[in-house]
């Protein structure tokens, strides 16, 4: 027999109803702006579309796409970016842990580390050019310390341009991920740390055996946010830094959509690339969901 007062049950039902009433319009609005373009993209991916008129062509766009060696090079570029994400998570996690320990100047460094988040991708790309180009800051620094023989132009090499993009990408998400982890650490029970210190645990043991397991939900959030950034938010950065070159060595799937749609004018094929990009990101999301669910269990 329920012992909950009727008045409390009525209040709980009223709150749920109010939540539904306020949520449904927003959900319909957001769903409309997202669902309609997504359905249109899937439809146009099965057509020959010049931006004005479209003619159904079955799976020809996908057949052409999967037979294109350039497409697989672009996919490999995205795979390299994906492989760099553990670094984009681990480095901010270690820095956040040190800041959470209130090292000397931690307030100042916390503000400095967050600065990249406040800078637009265009500005970040322009700064990266001045760092990694032949006459940039990197070579100037090497010359100052007596290593002028190691002169390099990362942005002009087929195998090095992607490295410059990855370094810039990791730096650009560093501030956001650091703040996420600092916020997560502020919610952890300090008594656990005190007990670990009493038992003789060192700083690194505390990080790997206490902090990281307790921060799994925050790590999961940072991971998926970083994946979305790597796959769908680097257009401006790549456009400014390399324009997808040399060749297609820094072209991502997101940038490839632009290349095929607006430079080549084959919008149906561009829509097919967009669908493939969505499937890949969704697959990564499902995989990480399972991995982190097992870790949390």
Q: Are residues 16 and 113 in the same domain?
A: no
What does the block give as tokens for 94? 């270690």
| Per-residue confidence band for 1, with pLDDT thresholds at 50, 70 and 90 | very low
The CATH number for 184's domain is 1.10.3720.10
Q: Are residues 103 and 224 in the same domain?
A: yes
Cα distances (Å, whole numbers) of residue 165 to 43, 147, 240: 33, 23, 11
| Per-residue confidence band for 188, with pLDDT thresholds at 50, 70 and 90 | confident
CA angle 71–73–79, rounded 5-degree value: 105
What does the block give as tokens for 214? 């307790």
**Within-domain flag for 295:** no
**Within-domain flag for 33:** yes
Cβ atoms 280, 231 nearer than 8 A? yes
**Within-domain flag for 116:** yes
pLDDT the model gives residue 297 = 60
d(CA 209, CA 201): 10
Count structural domains, the chain.
2
**Within-domain flag for 276:** no
d(CA 128, CA 240): 9
Q: Are residues 3 and 95 in the same domain?
A: no
pLDDT in tens, 137-163: 888 888 888 777 777 888 988 889 999
Provide the CA 236 distance to its chain's centre, in angstroms.
14
**Within-domain flag for 282:** no
pLDDT in tens, 46-94: 999 988 888 999 999 999 999 999 999 999 999 999 999 999 999 999 8
Q: Are residues 119 and 28 in the same domain?
A: no
> DSSP string covering 49-113, please?
E-SS-EEE-TTHHHHHHHT-HHHHHHHHHHHHHHHTHHHHHHHHHHHHHHHHTT-TTHHHHHHHH
Cβ atoms 252, 176 nearer than 8 A? no
Q: Are residues 113 and 211 in the same domain?
A: yes
Q: Are residues 173 and 40 in the same domain?
A: no
**Within-domain flag for 78:** no
Instruction: Supply the pTM of this predicted model.
Output: 0.84
Per the structure, the complete domain to which residue 19 belongs is given by 1-44
Q: Are residues 25 and 121 in the same domain?
A: no
DSSP state of 233: S
Q: Are residues 88 and 226 in the same domain?
A: yes
Q: Are residues 120 and 222 in the same domain?
A: yes
Q: Are residues 33 and 121 in the same domain?
A: no
What does the block give as tokens for 242? 């390399």
**Within-domain flag for 29:** yes
Q: Are residues 141 and 226 in the same domain?
A: yes
Residues 6+ apart with CB under 8 A from 154: 132, 138, 160, 161, 163, 164
**Within-domain flag for 58:** no
- Sign of the CA dihedral with 226 first, then 229, 232, and 235 last: negative
CA angle 279–262–58, rounded 5-degree value: 50
Q: Are residues 103 and 170 in the same domain?
A: yes
């Amino acid at each position: 027999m329920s012992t909950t007062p009727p008045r409390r049950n009525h209040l709980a039902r009223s709150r749920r109803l109010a939540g539904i009433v306020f949520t449904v319009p927003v959900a319909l609005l957001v769903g409309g702006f997202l669902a309609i373009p997504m359905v249109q993209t899937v439809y146009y991916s099965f057509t020959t579309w010049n931006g004005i008129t479209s003619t159904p062509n079955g799976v020809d766009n996908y057949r052409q796409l999967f037979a294109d060696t350039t497409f697989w090079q672009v996919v490999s570029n995205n795979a390299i970016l994906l492989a760099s994400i553990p670094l984009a998570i681990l480095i901010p996690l270690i820095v956040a842990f040190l800041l959470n320990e209130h090292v000397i100047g931690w307030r100042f460094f916390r503000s400095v580390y967050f600065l990249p988040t406040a800078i637009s991708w265009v500005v970040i790309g322009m700064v990266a050019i001045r760092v990694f180009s032949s006459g940039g800051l990197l070579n100037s620094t090497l010359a100052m310390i007596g290593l002028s023989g190691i002169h390099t132009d990362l942005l002009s090499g087929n195998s090095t341009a992607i490295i410059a993009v990855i370094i810039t990408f990791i730096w650009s998400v560093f501030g956001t991920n650091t703040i996420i982890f600092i916020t997560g650490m502020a919610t952890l029970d300090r008594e656990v740390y005190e007990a670990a210190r009493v038992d003789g645990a060192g700083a690194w043991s505390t990080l790997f055996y206490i902090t990281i397991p307790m921060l799994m939900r925050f790590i999961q959030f940072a991971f998926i946010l970083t994946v979305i950034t790597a796959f769908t938010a680097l257009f401006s950065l790549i456009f400014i830094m390399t324009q997808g070159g040399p060749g297609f060595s820094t072209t991502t799937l997101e940038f490839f959509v632009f290349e095929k749609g607006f430079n080549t004018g084959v919008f149906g094929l561009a829509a097919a690339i967009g669908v493939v990009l969505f499937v890949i990101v969704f697959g990564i999301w499902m995989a990480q969901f399972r991995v982190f669910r097992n870790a949390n269990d």
